[in-house]
Structure 1
Amino acid sequence: MNEISKKEQLYELIRANPFISQQDLAVGLRLSRSAVAGHIASLIRERRLLGRAYVLPDKRPVLCIGAANLDRKLRTIAAMQLGTSNPATAEEVYGGVARNIAENLARLNLPTALLTALGDDGAGRALRDHAETAGIDMRGSLNLADTATGTYTAILDERGELVVALADMALYDRMTPEFIDSRLPQRAAASMTVADLNLPADSVSALLDSARADNVPLILVAVSQPKMARLPADLTGLRLLILNRGELETLAGHALPTEADVRLACRAVQARGARDVIVTCGSQGVFHTRDGELAWLAAHEVDVVDVTGAGDAFSAAVCWSLYQGSQDLTLACRRGLKVAAMTLESHETVSPMLASDILDEIQDFYPTPIPPMPPLPPTYSSFEPPLFPHKD
């Protein structure tokens, strides 16, 4: 077989598995390691590969980093009685902010990978199988034999009100800066990184260090008010921070009752180095930074079936819009509100109706005039359901 056909055969093997080793390529093609390296160098010069991890130009994924949980909801059938057994209904769904965003992106037809931590148990295997079936690349995730997969369990009364919630998510503390560094080839292969704040603070800092060095856009998504403490003081290199109003209040250290207050808080985040900020306000809509100011978009009016996952769907659609090359956050938020509305109308955490052509239909035009922002209520209800006050 001539050298040209050998190179083409090597290229096809890399297309099938972008993380294949040079040793495996050499064995499969009956070539020396030096010959394989020469062919790879030639493909990189031709821009058919983009360097580390043999990144193919049309295959660079969005890399999501953070939580993948098994969420359980237990609801009593009659009035709850403490200290005894209560008849109840039970539901289990796949959750976790990073996982939810990854599944939405995969359904929107983007190449998507997820770095998370899973226990060596039934829940971990089910989460992995479900993700891979959805088209999410799980290679590189941390598999822990000595701990259980993350879970979030909510106990509800007969009215659906939260009685108590239990979160077992300590395993994400094992996603240390050393783990993040060990996945450098996979991270370098990404077109964009989306991380949630279930990661340890030092790991979030490590991702920001990488974003400053390699210019791969980094988007951080908040998960709860207590975990805002994991956001580093220096946000230089951060393309976008997505959080809700309550989380922004925690970051600011005080209530934000007016639009002017939200604007000043967003400017403070930008002064710390973040390029842009999106603040979700539940059923009302979203704020976002735009040309040094603060823009407002109202949410869609929908018949809500289940609010679970709508906030993560919003974040995914924003990421999808940025992935397409548009830097217009107003367009990105309009797309996000569309996908959030679809999720609110679905029984599923990720709407099965999602497809990229739905977002293609939303182009860069804006209503004139933009509807005014209604007064902000003193209490805040996010996209996430009351029974999950912390998205985690």
Structure 2
Amino acid sequence: MNNKEKEIVRLIRENPYISQNELADKLQLSRSAVAVYISNMMKKGIILGKAYIIKDSYRIVCIGGATVDRKAMPKNKIVFGTSNQVTYHRFPGGVARNVAENLGRLGCHTSLITCVGNDDQGKWLLDYTRSAGVDVSQSLQLSSYNTGSYTVISDAEGNLLLGLDDLHIYESLTLDLFEKKGNFISSADLLFLDFNYPPDMTAELIRKAHLEGIRVCATVVSSTRTELVPQDLNGVYLLCTNQLEAEVMLEYKIKTEEDISRACKDLKEIKGIKNVIMNLRDKGTYLYTEHGMLHFIEQPTEEKVDWTGNRDAFMAGVIYGLMEELDLVTACEYGSVMSMMNIMDFSTVNPNISLNEVETYHQKYFSK
């Protein structure tokens, strides 16, 4: 919301039956200008109807990938160059979709804007995500491409050996396809982006969100897809990356804590990001803040079944913390708890995650 919209919301909260003439007097605007603001806010979903019903909960919009994840679990140790016995499993996946599902399972008011094929796989993805409490009404279904897929080959301990993705559907995306989503996106309190889409499109989404005063969080999806990260990330409040991705983007090796601090500082200064997270999976997470402070957050682990999707769960925990107005370090603690809970299940997103359990584990591992 812009400043005028925020002021209108404040006045309506004080008096839900305030007239447009009264609003105009208080805001020193014409009545017709107030009417335009009210109309636009109703289109955005900020005002829900007559008598000025204001939405009570914050809203998160996730934009990015949704894929069908296929996981191959070997019966024995993988032997390259020959056939191996595996068991195949299918799960809903995609970074933005995973983050949205995690948030939905925490009870957050979350919407997903993604792109799938007009096929059975795409319908299944959207239906499943909707059942987790996520609004998918703004997602696109395109007839000219198949729904994206991601195939994972793991070792017996659940560690990734090889990942294979088919994401050609995203190459066809243009800003025109998202033009009608503008009002919906601008009503968000927080925007999450993964870098699966063409960089010029992602850059424009960031620019518009920044102008609207919407907090933007983003994740680099893979070291092989860093070319999709826009050069200018001014307007991004928080970027999550890992060691391999940062090495590709910065073109130097990152081994020590000093290297990590330097890399985070360089990403912040070169790309214009406010805060940077370097997620090292089981080794923990480094947070480099806009004030130049480096913090380390441990990664607790209990039962380790499969690591796929752990960083998406981490980001969902961080976003939950931000929406609860926690400081960034504490928000990252919630991210670490979500990551720990996610790897306890073979699914890409643990369907048994609950807010009560998250709070219990946070108390267990991070209470002072």
- Normalising by structure 2, what TM-score? 0.79
Determine if the alignment matches structure 1 residue 269 to structure 2 residue 267. yes
Contact 1:76 1:156 in 2 (8 A): yes
Which of 201, 204, 224 is residue 203 of structure 1 equivalent to?
201
| Larger mean Cα displacement after TM superposition, 204-213 or 151-160 | 151-160
| Partner residue, 1:136 | 134
CA distance, structure 1, for counterparts of residue 157 and residue 296 of structure 2: 34
SS where residue 320 of structure 1 aligns? helix
The one-letter amino acid of 1:198's match is N
CA distance, structure 1, for counterparts of residue 167 and residue 180 of structure 2: 22
The one-letter amino acid of 1:322's match is L
Q: How far off is 1:81 after superposition?
A: 8.9
SS where residue 277 of structure 2 aligns? strand
Cα distance change, pair 59–179 in 1 and its aligned pair in 2 (3 A)? farther
Determine if the alignment matches structure 1 residue 103 to structure 2 residue 101. yes
Determine if the alignment matches structure 1 residue 53 to structure 2 residue 44. yes
SS where residue 278 of structure 2 aligns? strand
Contact 1:211 1:238 in 2 (8 A): no
The one-letter amino acid of 2:295's match is A
The one-letter amino acid of 1:53's match is K
SS where residue 283 of structure 1 aligns? helix
| Larger mean Cα displacement after TM superposition, 111-120 or 148-157 | 148-157
CA distance, structure 2, for counterparts of residue 263 and residue 158 of structure 1: 34
| Partner residue, 1:313 | 313
Cα distance change, pair 69–191 in 1 and its aligned pair in 2 (3 A)? same
CA distance, structure 1, for counterparts of residue 156 and residue 303 of structure 2: 22
| Partner residue, 1:118 | 116
Contact 1:180 1:206 in 2 (8 A): no
CA distance, structure 2, for counterparts of residue 350 and residue 117 of structure 1: 19
Contact 1:50 1:57 in 2 (8 A): no
Determine if the alignment matches structure 1 residue 66 to structure 2 residue 57. no
| Partner residue, 1:371 | none
Contact 1:180 1:203 in 2 (8 A): no
| Partner residue, 1:13 | none
CA distance, structure 1, for counterparts of residue 59 and residue 193 of structure 2: 14
Which of 172, 175, 182 is residue 174 of structure 1 equivalent to?
172
Cα distance change, pair 366–172 in 1 and its aligned pair in 2 (3 A)? same
Determine if the alignment matches structure 1 residue 252 to structure 2 residue 243. no
CA distance, structure 1, for counterparts of residue 41 and residue 94 of structure 2: 31
| Larger mean Cα displacement after TM superposition, 184-193 or 53-62 | 53-62
Root-mean-square deviation over aligned CA pairs: 2.9
Which of 72, 78, 90 is residue 88 of structure 2 equivalent to?
90
Structure 2, unmatched stretches of 5+, are 1-31, 47-53
CA distance, structure 1, for counterparts of residue 241 and residue 80 of structure 2: 37
SS where residue 277 of structure 1 aligns? strand
SS where residue 285 of structure 2 aligns? strand
Structure 1, unmatched stretches of 5+, are 1-37, 369-392
CA distance, structure 2, for counterparts of residue 259 and residue 82 of structure 1: 38
Contact 1:266 1:289 in 2 (8 A): yes
Cα distance change, pair 91–237 in 1 and its aligned pair in 2 (3 A)? same
- Normalising by structure 1, what TM-score? 0.75
CA distance, structure 1, for counterparts of residue 223 and residue 167 of structure 2: 16
The one-letter amino acid of 1:316's match is A
Contact 2:117 2:145 in 1 (8 A): yes
Q: How far off is 1:232 after superposition?
A: 1.9
Determine if the alignment matches structure 1 residue 336 to structure 2 residue 335. yes
Q: How far off is 1:349 after superposition?
A: 2.3
| Larger mean Cα displacement after TM superposition, 190-199 or 166-175 | 166-175
Aligned length: 324
Q: How far off is 1:80 after superposition?
A: 6.5
CA distance, structure 2, for counterparts of residue 163 and residue 283 of structure 1: 16
Q: How far off is 1:305 after superposition?
A: 1.6
The one-letter amino acid of 2:318's match is V
Q: How far off is 1:43 after superposition?
A: 10
Query: Deviations 1:165-199 (Å, cap 9, x if unpaired)?
Result: 43211111233222233310110121111010111
CA distance, structure 2, for counterparts of residue 352 and residue 155 of structure 1: 21
The one-letter amino acid of 2:220's match is A
CA distance, structure 1, for counterparts of residue 247 and residue 367 of structure 2: 29
The one-letter amino acid of 1:170's match is H
Instruction: Map residues 218-229 of structure 1 onto 2, 5 A cutoff.
Output: 218-229=216-227
Contact 2:287 2:329 in 1 (8 A): yes
Query: Deviations 1:242-277 (Å, cap 9, x if unpaired)?
Result: 111111111211101111111111111221311100
Q: How far off is 1:59 after superposition?
A: 4.4
Cα distance change, pair 189–257 in 1 and its aligned pair in 2 (3 A)? same
CA distance, structure 2, for counterparts of residue 305 and residue 101 of structure 1: 19
Identity of aligned residues (%): 31
CA distance, structure 2, for counterparts of residue 220 and residue 54 of structure 1: 24
| Partner residue, 1:304 | 304
The one-letter amino acid of 2:297's match is L
